[in-house]
Structure 1
C-alpha cells in the first residue's frame, strides 16, 4: 500500500496537478450519474463526464441544462466542482495539509509557487488562508448584492440559492447559470450587470494581485508605501485595455445590427458585459448568434487571451499577451533586451512566454482540425463551410475555459464531446504543466553543434 503512495508522491509536480484535477472530475462524473442527480433519466457517463469536466475546469459549456435537467443534488455537485476548480485543487490540498498539521514539502511549495505566485512569499500558510478569506468575502458580498435583485422576483429560498450559485460561478469564472438564457433576462439591470462584472474581474486578475491590493490599502504610512509589483501593473494595464478596447469594438461593430434595437444604456451594458465575460467567464447577456463574424473573431481573441496568472480563469493569460507585445516591440527596435515599465525581463521569462504562446496556437489549431474532422463527416461541402465558425469558436472557448458557444455544444457527437473534454482539461492544467517544464534549468553539458544560418522571411 505504501509503494503506490510513494510513487504518486514522487511524481513530477505537473503530473500531480493532472492527477488532482482528473481525480476530482471522475468523482464528480460518478456523482452526476446517480439517479437522483438528474431530472428524469440519469445522465449517461459521457454527459456526466462532460459536465464534471466543464465545472471542474470552470468552463461553462453544457450538454444538459443545469437549471432544469439537474436536481438540487446535481446542481450542488456542479457548484462544489466549480468552487474547487476555481480555487485550485492544489490550494485545497495544501490547506488540508496545514489544517491536519502535516506541513508542506518542497515539491508542494513548488506547485503553489508556479500556480499562484510570481515571487516567493514568507508564509504559504498565510497565503492560503488569505485566498480562502478573500474568496469567501467576495463571493458573500456578491451573493448579497445579487439577492436584492433575485429574491423579489423568485422568493427567499430560490432567490438566495440563485444568488449564491451565480456569485460563485461568476467569481470562479465558470459561466454556469441556472437560467436557460444565461443572463439575457437581466441585461438591462444595472445591479446584476455591475455585480457580475465585478466578480468576474476580481476572479480573473489573480489571487496574488487581490492580496497585494489589500496589503497596500492597509499601509498607513504613505511615505513608505510600496508600489504595485510589475506583475500587478501589467495585469491591470492589460485587463483595462482588453475590457475597454473590446467593449468599444463590439459597440462599433454591432451598432447597426445586434445593438440597433436597444437603447443607449442597454447597449452599453451589453457591450461591457460581453467584453468582460469573453475573457473566460462564459455568461452571455445577448444571443451570440446575432453578432457579426468580425465581432465573433474579436471574441475568440479575447477568449484566447483569457484571465491573469494565479486566477480562476484560463487562456494564455494577460501577462503573456503583454510580454509578447513587449518582446516584439523590443526586437523590432533592435533591442536585444525586453523592457517593461523601466524593468528588464529575464531571458527565461521571454523564452517561457514565446513558448507558451506558440504552443497554445499550435494546440488550438490541431484541436480545431480534429473537431472539424469528427463533426463534419458525411456533411455536404457547402453545408460544412457554414458551420466552420461554430466549431472553431467552440474549440477556442473550451481551451480558454470560457464556456461561450454558438450552439455547437448541442450538436457534438461522442467523439466531439471527448475532444472538447480534453480541450477543457488541458486548457485548465496543460499550460501550467508546460510552465513547469519551461522553468527547469537547462541541462549542463547540453550538446551545442556548429552554427549555420538560414534565410527567414
Structure 2
C-alpha cells in the first residue's frame, strides 16, 4: 500500500488532484450500481455516476430522488461522498500520509496551498487536524439543533438520522435532501432555517477563515493589551459574503413581493428570501419552487451561484474574493491607478492577473457549456419550444459549474449526452477551472521567459 501511495505522491500536483476526485467518483458510482443501493431496479451506471459526481463535488443535482429511490446503504454512500468531497480528498490523503509516517512533500503542500490557504502555515499537521476538529464540532452542533425540529415529527431513529444527514449536507454545501421538495416543508420554521443557513455560511467561508477567527478571539481573551486584526483575505470574505447575503435577500424580497411571496405572511416571506439568498451561493437547498420566481429573480440567483462561496471552503463558484478583487481592479483602472488597492493594501500583480483570468475563463467556459447543453438537448424540438428552454439550461449549467445544485427542472430532462456534460461541469467546478486548464496544457513549473515585441495600438470601445 505504501508503494502505491508513494507513486501517487510523485504525480504532478494537478493530475494528483484530478485523480483523487475521479477515483472517489468512480468508486462511489460503482457502489451505487449495486442492487443493495437502490429500491426497485438498480441504478444505471450513468445515473449512478451522475449521483456520485454530484455528491463528491458537493453539488446536489439529482437524477433520482435521494430519499425514496436510494436505500439506506445508497444514502450512506452519498453521505460519505459528500463528507469526503466537502473536506476535500486532498485533506484526507495528506492526513493518511501523516498517519503512515510519510510526511508531506512539495506536491501535497502545493495542493493544500491551492485549495485551503492564502498564506503559509507553520504546521500542516495542525491545520489538517483543526479542519477535522472544526468540521466534527460544527456538524454535531448542527445535527443536535436540527434533531429538535425533526425528532418530534419523525421519531428518534428517523429524526436523528435526518438531522445528521442534512447537517453534513448543509455544512459541506452539498444541497442533498431526503425530502422530494427539499426544505419547502420547513420554510416557516425559524430553527431549521437558522441552523441550515449557519451551517451553509460556515461551510462556505473557508476553513482557514474559521480557524483564524477562532484563534483571534482566543488571543484577545488571553491578552487584551495586544490588538490583532483579521487578515485581508478574511476581511474580504466576511465583507463580500455579508453584502451578497443581505443584498440578495433584499432584492429577492423586493422582486417577489407581488409574485411568489404575495400569498405568504411577512415572517414566512422573510425566511424564504433570506434562505434562498444564502443557499443560492452553492448550497442548493430550496424552500420554494424556483419555477415560481420571476425571470429577474432567477437571473439574480444565477449571479449568486456564479460567485459562489469563498476559497478553501466546501463551495464552488469563482469565489467571493474573486468578485471583490474584480470590483477593486475595475475601480482602480477606471481611476487611472495602475495598482489595485484594498483596505490600504496593494494586491500583488499575480493575484490581479489570476483574478482576471479566472473570471473571464469562467464566463467563456459557461457560455460554451450552455451552447453544448442546448445543442444536445434541443435537437429535433420545435423552435419555439427550444427558445423557451434557454433559461432553464443556462440556469442548469451555472448551477452545475458552481456546484450549487439548484434546478428549474432541467436535470430530469437530461439525455445521456446532457448528463455527461453536467458531470463534466460539476467535476471541473469542484476541482477548479484554472487547475484543470493549467494541468491539461501541462503548464511548466518554471516561469516562461517573457517576450516583448514592438508595440502597436488598436482601437478600444
Length-normalised TM-score, structure 1: 0.97
Give the SS at the match of 1:143.
helix
- CA separation in 1, counterparts of 2:21 and 2:70? 22
- CA separation in 2, counterparts of 1:328 and 1:445? 28
Q: Which residue of 1 aligns with 2:333?
A: 331
Distance 1:102 1:393, change over 3 A: same
Shift of 1:310: 0.1
* Equivalent residue runs for 1:314-353 within 5 Å: 314-353=316-355
Shift of 1:190: 0.2
- CA separation in 2, counterparts of 1:392 and 1:192? 30
Shift of 1:234: 0.1
Provide, for residues 39-61 of structure 1, a one-character-per-residue CA deviation record: whole Å limited to 9, x for no partner. 00000000000000000000000
Q: Which residue of 1 aligns with 2:116?
A: 116
Shift of 1:325: 0.1
* Equivalent residue runs for 1:252-331 within 5 Å: 252-331=254-333
Distance 1:207 1:5, change over 3 A: closer
Q: Which residue of 1 aligns with 2:450?
A: 446
Q: Which residue of 2 aligns with 1:226?
A: 228
Alpha-carbon contact 2:326-2:356 (below 8 Å) kept: yes
Shift of 1:398: 0.2
Shift of 1:9: 3.4
Q: Which residue of 1 aligns with 2:433?
A: 431
- CA separation in 2, counterparts of 1:440 and 1:376? 40
- CA separation in 2, counterparts of 1:110 and 1:346? 19
Provide, for residues 189-230 of structure 1, a one-character-per-residue CA deviation record: whole Å limited to 9, x for no partner. 000000000000000000000001110111121221320000
Alpha-carbon contact 2:173-2:314 (below 8 Å) kept: yes
- CA separation in 1, counterparts of 2:147 and 2:3? 51
- CA separation in 1, counterparts of 2:151 and 2:2? 52
Alpha-carbon contact 2:358-2:434 (below 8 Å) kept: no
Alpha-carbon contact 1:15-1:433 (below 8 Å) kept: no
Shift of 1:143: 0.0
Distance 1:248 1:53, change over 3 A: same
Give the SS at the match of 1:433.
helix
Q: State which drifts further: 438-447 or 195-204.
A: 438-447
- CA separation in 1, counterparts of 2:348 and 2:49? 41
- CA separation in 2, counterparts of 1:38 and 1:200? 28
Q: Over aligned residues, Cα RMSD in angstroms?
A: 1.7
Give unpaired runs (5+ residues) of structure 2: none
Q: Which residue of 1 aligns with 2:382?
A: 380
Q: Which residue of 2 aligns with 1:83?
A: 83
Give the SS at the match of 2:68.
helix
Alpha-carbon contact 1:79-1:165 (below 8 Å) kept: yes
**Are residue 53 (structure 1) and residue 23 (structure 2) matched?**
no
- CA separation in 2, counterparts of 1:260 and 1:3? 63
Alpha-carbon contact 1:14-1:432 (below 8 Å) kept: no
- CA separation in 2, counterparts of 1:432 and 1:145? 38
- CA separation in 2, counterparts of 1:218 and 1:447? 50
- CA separation in 1, counterparts of 2:6 and 2:151? 51
**Are residue 167 (structure 1) and residue 171 (structure 2) matched?**
no
Shift of 1:111: 0.8
Shift of 1:455: 1.2
**Are residue 456 (structure 1) and residue 435 (structure 2) matched?**
no
Q: State which drifts further: 424-433 or 189-198.
A: 424-433
Alpha-carbon contact 2:91-2:112 (below 8 Å) kept: yes
Give the SS at the match of 2:175.
coil
- CA separation in 1, counterparts of 2:126 and 2:437? 25
Give the SS at the match of 2:236.
helix
Q: State which drifts further: 222-231 or 60-69.
A: 222-231
Alpha-carbon contact 2:28-2:81 (below 8 Å) kept: yes
Q: Which residue of 2 aligns with 1:131?
A: 131
Shift of 1:97: 1.2
- CA separation in 2, counterparts of 1:185 and 1:244? 24
Distance 1:342 1:409, change over 3 A: same
- CA separation in 1, counterparts of 2:405 and 2:4? 36
- CA separation in 2, counterparts of 1:445 and 1:60? 43
Give the SS at the match of 1:286.
coil
Distance 1:42 1:316, change over 3 A: same
Instruction: Tell me how many residue pairs correspond in the alignment.
Output: 457
